[in-house]
Amino acid sequence: MDGTETGRAEVLRRLEAICGDRDLASLGRRLEDLAGLVHADMASLERDLAVPSGPRAIHAGASHLLALGGKRLRPMCVALASRVGTGFDARGRALAVAVELVHNATLLHDDVVDLGDTRRGAPTTRAVWGNAVSIFAGDWLLVDALRRVRAANVPGTLERLLDVIDEMIQAESLQLERRGRLETGRETWERVVEGKTAALFRWAMFAGARAGGLDERGVSALEEYGLHLGVAFQAIDDLLDLSGDQRATGKALFTDLREGKMTYPLILAMERDRAAEPLLRAVIADEGGDEQARFDEMVVVLERTGALHDCRALAETHAQRAVDALAVLPQGKATEALVTVAEATVARRA
């Protein structure tokens, strides 16, 4: 297998990792087309993501997380948004690297806040080197990302990224304030998701569109796509926390609930069935006893109330809104690929 085929196979592996079994034949063919379109883009991204070696623990801590890979969905969004316009050039690559660095910086910080020991099926940076290294490694990646965006010199991207980082911090703060509070409602969930998750997808599409020279109408359409893609992505994340395959997700079921985070299905279950409240309180309070029995009972409540079904329906609605936003753009391989990304995001199992 030559380098081109190896690169295409690696991109396809990443795409298949986020795809479930629904409509697999049709979606699989389109994923192959998508892999063929972006494999060179993603290969260049991986080279640029290599963290400079150094004696400091922060280099090792940052390299550890980046080497574990991940979906690389956000930089793929930059590449595809650029390809809707004039193409994916060096400036676009710099922005794609930057969005992945910001994403990984937030993960390094999240693992400290959540006391996380496992990510992507491996020990977290904090578990290996400690909290301080995880924090400083995240800070370092964030500064590196901002420098890359400044050097790319694509109008509006640095200012917008600073705004997005502020949104993410405010959303994280709101989620922290609501931790363990069962009365959290859908409106709060939406505010957290739009700031914490969707904002960075929105910036990825904005940055790619600007790098690709699209007009304001095109930029706005792709930002709208990014917003809805991000909400769909988080809704499926919430679903996988309660009913996913631990081998695929790389984390234990009910992790968010143990951390006191009210995900969308839990909010729906609380609204619809009083039996959910004592179960949730027992898990959050870590009352001991048969925890697995409580989890099993919680799954019964989630299924009985339709919370799992409606969470997936929400994801599908936002994925469709993302696709609808593409209607004003010139149609071609890049927009077709963005449709595939939206559909694969809803179908993903990791």
Eight-class DSSP state of 85? T
Residue pair 184/216 in contact (Cβ under 8 Å)? The answer is no
Distance CA 154, CA 208 (A): 10
Q: Can you give the pTM of this predicted structure?
A: 0.89
* Host H or E run for residue 44: helix 24-49
Q: What is the tens place of the pLDDT at every residue in 292-341?
A: 888 889 899 999 999 999 999 999 999 999 999 999 999 999 999 999 99
Residue pair 343/319 in contact (Cβ under 8 Å)? The answer is yes
Query: In the numeric block, which tokens belong to residue 64?
Result: 């550890």
CATH 3.40.190.290 fits 3-347, yes or no: no
Q: What is the tens place of the pLDDT at every residue in 2-25?
A: 555 555 555 555 555 555 444 544
Query: In the numeric block, which tokens belong to residue 348?
Result: 């993903």
Q: What is the tens place of the pLDDT at every residue in 241-264?
A: 998 777 777 677 888 988 889 999
**Where exactly are the structural domains of the chain?**
3-347
Closest CA relative to residue 43, chosen from 12, 83, 87: 12
